[in-house]
Amino acid sequence: MGEPLKKKKKKKRKKERRRLITTGAAAAPLCLINACRAFFLLHKQCTDGYEFDPVHQLCKGKGGRDLNRLNILLGFFFFFFNLIGPRLCDLFSDINECFIVADACKGGMKCINHYGGYLCLPQNAQIIVTNGDESETPAEPNPPPRTQPHHRVVPGGARPARCMPGFSLDEQNLCRDIDECATGQHTCSSDQTCYNTRGSYTCSCLPGYQKIRNECVDRDECATSHYCMHTCVNTPGSYYCECNAGYQLANNSHNCMDVDECETSNACEHQCFNLMGSYICQCDQGYELASDSVTCIDIDECAFSRYMCQYLCINSPGGYSCTCPEGYQLQGTRMCQDVNECETGHNCAEDQTCWNYYGGFRCYPRNPCQEPYVRTSESRCVCSSPSVCRGMPQSIVYKYMNIYSDRTVPAEIFQIQATTIYPNTQNTFRIKSGNDGGDFFLRRVSNVSAMLVLTKSLSGPLELILDLEMITYHTMMNYRSSSILRLTIVVGPYAF
């Protein structure tokens, strides 16, 4: 019989045990080696147990924090994932938030990526890895082999860590970001600004420019989006706003405010009225606006019509006035009224009588009677003896009248009337003298009266003396007699 089968003793694999020991301001994990960390998304500006100090821009430990208890909790955390990590790590691909998230950590903390998240730790934090014994070895104590310049070797058979592009190993075997902007390892042109990012850099254009095919081209703010109220003017790298005429730019350089031209300048010669974006001028009474819409020119009211005044129109700045000729006075503002000099004052002699006419006066004898006639009343002269006055008028009556110059014709101007009526008599009327120009016509109205008609327009000043004769026939006695009305007509110099 052969030898009994020997039970193969299972070689117990010594479980590798790691624990996290930190030194520095607080206990916090730097990374987990050989463990799957896909379920942990720790996105914090400061590690638990720290709070951000806005004054010093640093992460500080909270007062009264039990750091030993924190180490126990973190040890249990990493022990659990050392057991299940190898089975899960191959299922996921980690995202390096420290590389793609700008300013992932603040307050002077450093960013440590791990599977499924990242940690923000103090700069003096250190990780200690143990392999089941009591010996403690700092992680990655030696630089990586030259054959693998981007890896770092971790004791205990851990996978090598490789620095991503844009990072380099420092003397502590940690991947540090390369500042391409500071070292000159960038391709930004002279009109671009280099900004370092985690693992790379960006080339940015100056304000007002945009990047097109790696070149900075002016951004036309007026064509895209601007805040100008009226007109936008594009300039290289910027723009400015302009306002329409009558407006001015406000303090914010975008809005437009109305300019009150009436207050800022002498815009109008007379009156100024402000409008939105403009103004309007108005002239005082008696003026009109010139073609420039600013200046006021006098209106010549006298040139509008000859009827502005009854006699004479005199233009003045902004108005006009009417005047009257000698012998008249102004009635109201336009009309002229005759002055009766016989009442207000005249220079007629004692034996004369004053007679007023339109525009003047005349002095006539108080006793107009001549031989062989004698005065029987103020204006009547009678023949003193019938035998002496045979063939002559029995009586002469003196009358005076005046008419306007250029009077409208025909016009009835005077009526003659018999003062004594005898029975069995027949009266006829005629213009015996003074009508050489045929300006008058005497129309018989009745047996005892007749009407003197002006047939032609007369222009003064003019004086006419007409002898209007009335002839009386006595049918029973076969007797004929006559009487004269001597009418003095004065035509005034004006049509008023």
Q: What is the pLDDT of residues 298-319, one digit of tens each?
A: 999 999 998 999 999 999 999 9
- Please list the helix, strand and coil fractions of the chain in percent, rounded to the nearest 5, in that order: 10, 35, 55
Q: What is the mean pLDDT of residues 213-232?
A: 90
| Nearest one of 37, 40, 21, 44 to 121, comparing CA atoms | 44
Q: Convert the pLDDT of each residue in 15-62 to its tens digit.
A: 333 333 333 333 333 333 333 333 333 333 455 555 656 555 455 665
Residues constituting the chain: 496
Cis, peptide link before residue 461, omega less than 30° from 0 = yes
pLDDT at 436: 95
pLDDT at 110: 81
Would you say 419 and 376 are in contact if contact means Cβ atoms under 8 Å apart? no
CATH code linked to domain 182-218? 2.10.25
DSSP string, 397-457: EEEEEEE-TT--SSEEEEEEE-S---TTEEEEEEEEES-TT--EEEEE-SSSEEEEEE-S-
Q: What's the CATH superfamily of 261-298?
A: Laminin (2.10.25.10)
**454 by DSSP, 3-state: which?**
strand
| pLDDT at 133 > cutoff 50 | no
- Give residue 116's pLDDT band: very low, low, confident or very high (50, 70, 90): confident
Q: ∠ CA 316-319-322 to the nearest 5 degrees?
A: 75
Q: Classify burial at 462, counting beta carbons within 10 Å of its beta carbon; exposed 0-12, middle 13-18, buried 19 or more.
A: middle
Q: What is the mean pLDDT of residues 255-264?
A: 93
Dist. CA 218–CA 221, nearest whole Å: 9
Q: Do domains 182-218 and 261-298 have the same CATH topology?
A: yes
| pLDDT at 93 > cutoff 80 | no
pLDDT at 332: 95
CATH topology of domain 355-491: Immunoglobulin-like (2.60.40)
Q: What is the mean pLDDT of residues 199-223?
A: 92
Domain spans in the chain, listed from the N-terminal domain onward: 50-139, 182-218, 261-298, 355-491
